[in-house]
A and B are shown apart, each in its own frame.
Chain A
């Protein structure tokens, strides 16, 4: 599509959507959101970019290969499970640590976050792989 309006709008929208998707991913444990939703939203941003410009430049925006994204995502999700095995719990039993960031607040970090990031990456990778490949046909 060769629409100037769409292109300029996309240029500004794209980073905002990506940021928002990461926001949704991170807050997912407490409010609506999470890896699936965040991943889908990020994928939508790239799809929008592919429509406004073309698949090639959208791929360039992504930088990494889809397969790599999927692989890293699965690795993170499985790794989140294996961490608990190292502690002696069953596979995927969650582990939490509280980080005390002086002046801000106590930040709670846990393996579910890692797991959700894995889900996010897999969803982005898979969705974009589907969209890009079918678009290139």
Chain B
């Protein structure tokens, strides 16, 4: 599992290079890796269906409890299969879709990095690793949405998606950390077994709200849905992959993942079903008002995500008594999830192909394409039939189960079923819009002359659509091994449940509802124009949506930032410095006054010992006097050379102090550095003018006051610090084991090259960076010589 995640990132790094080497066929070459992973994950189906789960683990930051650990159960397996399977087809498709694009290599790099991150997210067991992968998907998505970076719309949409999902990500992190502290573990697989601890804990509500904030923003639940349609600025393969079948489902995945621990309460059920229900109706309602293919699909995706959230709300609501009920909803969840991923990815790809081949994205200006591109048309129609819920497609099963789940609810049956019926009808209209309108009717003029797409661009949608049909025809054989473990994961059961997926349930309420929905939907499609005319009158509702609040908040933040900059960033270095120093002195002094138990006044020894003490510390006193004189000279001197010499005196004085107090290594270093510093100073200052006197006396008095206050505070701090005698020191270990572990008698050196060698390695890297910085500063000049800077 680790390999499958890591190899994705490695492949992402190699992608631009591969693209250059292979050229045209890069998509096909790159697609082989996810294909291999898909095959690898397929081998797990049998064992997962038997109720097995798989763990893998590597230590990462053990002392923080952060491990790179993976966990594969029914839920993660279904996601992993979707990610790798659809990923394979998308990469293959994208190779042709973006043929000849300048940045195709970069595109592949981001797309594959996304795939790896998403895979990591669904496989992660440790919550910190999961969070990191979660954020990686947001970041890669940002770059993919903004792929056409020369267009401002694309950049703005990318930023919007990043801000909304990133903000949710922060909430998620807080929620996860709270969860870990309550549950006493960082591993999801452990946390999920302690559901009762969570449900009865005082922090349950904040944890739930934080987790849901993360999930709702990521999965575009109302009122955070607005970023998703804008994300359609991305190239179509990205929309098909990230924004319909995988990334936006990360939030759904999260909710499903934690539902054994967090679900099953009234609050969970209320929140999820209200938000999910609202989202599914509003999303579908907005979808039928769009004219651009991808936006129609985007809104219908929002609606589908709403359905999934809604089902999760019902699914985990099962108190022990109504286990039957929750299994209904969880079953509907699993079936709908798989079905939606299959048909929505197909429809997006079909939409991409249509736009690619005709140059038109407005459905009202498309028609009669089935003759020109029959294969694409077949794939599109199959997927649309599944989406609308026609038997024998898998989508039919999903819709049927959705109705059954709502009908079986103990309360509010009317409202819930009503909402699902409305959504169902709107879904039918949407599928007609995207699959009937462009392909049938009379042909219309398009910017480009339409013809069938090349093989890589129709094979993907065709395969996905046919899979949808096959699973629909043979649900028990193909669907059940996948869905049953998912149900078990969502409900937190150890054993997979018997699902009995069949197309034909006999004539029952759900079937009757389904038939009504289909016929009303088809009728409504033909009356679409009239409905639109009526809806157009209430269009203003859309404009005061949450998107407006986002705009306002963003603008307000920028205004606030520039206001703050105007006030704080005067451009005078000493102002910054003074502000920093004054704040530090203020805060530190405040907390120093709070401490009463330490005395900073040193014990004054009896007068008869003064002579002895003076004799013992004579050197120290002389050196201290030397340093103070040097300091005074450095501040007061009028010439540069005197100042440098004074600086040298201070430096050598400090080195002498190191000698006196038993630090020969420090003393040698200090002597050498001081010498080199003086050389550098002389070299550079030689070119600078003499000190002019440019500050006014009042300014000097003010600066003097600030700096002396800071100096006094530091003195007090030192006195306080030396007054504390720690019971145990970190260095006791170092001293005791210098010889037996470090094989060295110079403890300082052993610490540097052995105990804390990692730090030393960091420090020499920093040194190198500073040297490169100097080099860059001086090299830069030689290049810009002659130019006006």
Contact = CB atoms under 8 A, between A and B. Distances in A.
The interface residues of chain A, by DSSP majority, are classed as helix
Contact of A119 (B665, B668, B760, B770): B760
A133 B665 contact: no
Interface string B741-757: 01111101110111001
B761 interface: yes
Given A29-B745, A34-B749, A137 B778 contact: yes
B652 to A, nearest CB: 14
A122 B767 contact: yes
Contact of B743 (A35, A108, A134): A108
Given A43-B676, A133-B778, A135-B683, A30 B744 contact: yes
Interface string B650-690: 00000000000000110011001101100110011001000
A116 B768 contact: no
Contacts of A44: 672, 675-676
Interface in A21-65: 24, 28-37, 40-41, 43-44, 47, 51
Contacts of B752: 34-36, 119
Contact of B746 (A33, A80, A94, A115): A33
Nearest to A29: B744
B675 A66 contact: no
Contacts of A40: 669, 672-673, 676
Contacts of B672: 37, 40-41, 43-44
Contacts of B764: 73-74, 77, 118-119, 122-123
Contact of A74 (B744, B746, B765, B778): B765
A34 B753 contact: yes
A22 B757 CA distance: 20
A131 B754 contact: no
B775 A129 contact: yes
Nearest to A43: B676
B757 A29 contact: no
A66 B771 contact: yes
Contacts of B538: none
Interface residues of A, number: 48
Given A29-B746, A94-B754, A34 B665 contact: yes
B61 interface: no
A6 interface: no
Contacts of A31: 745-746
A92 B683 contact: no
Contacts of A116: 749, 753
B768 A29 contact: no
Contact of B680 (A29, A32, A118, A130): A130
B718 interface: no
B730 interface: no
A126 B771 contact: yes
Contacts of A30: 744-746
A131 B680 contact: yes
Interface string A110-132: 10100110110011011101110
B758 interface: yes
B523 interface: no
B679 A115 contact: no
Interface string A65-76: 010001001100
Contacts, number: 133
Nearest to B773: A130
B714 interface: no
Given A37-B672, A51-B679, A92-B757, A70 B771 contact: yes
B774 interface: yes
A134 B767 contact: no
Contact of A131 (B679, B745, B748, B761): B679
Nearest to B779: A133
Contacts of A80: 757
Contacts of B770: 126, 130
Nearest to A66: B771
Interface centre among A24, A108, A116, by most B CB within 10 Å? A116
A88 to B, nearest CB: 14
A91 interface: yes
Interface string B112-124: 0000000000000
Contacts of B761: 77-78, 81, 92, 115
Contacts of A12: none
Contact of B758 (A66, A91, A125): A91
A36 B764 CA distance: 10
B63 to A, nearest CB: 12
A117 to B, nearest CB: 10
Contacts of A123: 764, 767
Contacts of B749: 28-29, 33-34, 116
A3 to B, nearest CB: 16
A33 B672 CA distance: 12
A82 to B, nearest CB: 11
Nearest to B675: A44
Given A29-B750, A35-B753, A116-B753, A129 B669 contact: no
Contacts of A43: 672, 676
A93 to B, nearest CB: 9
A129 B676 contact: no
A81 B775 contact: no
B67 to A, nearest CB: 15
A34 B750 CA distance: 10
B656 to A, nearest CB: 15
A112 B679 contact: no
Nearest to A35: B753
A44 B678 CA distance: 12
- CB-CB nearest 10 A-B residue pairs: A29-B744, A40-B672, A32-B664, A112-B753, A126-B771, A30-B745, A122-B764, A34-B749, A92-B757, A129-B771
12 contacts: A29-B746, A32-B664, A43-B672, A77-B761, A81-B758, A94-B742, A112-B753, A123-B767, A126-B771, A131-B680, A131-B683, A134-B680
Given A30-B745, A126-B770, A137-B687, 14 more contacts: A32-B664, A32-B746, A34-B665, A43-B676, A47-B676, A47-B679, A74-B765, A116-B749, A116-B753, A122-B768, A130-B680, A131-B683, A134-B680, A137-B683
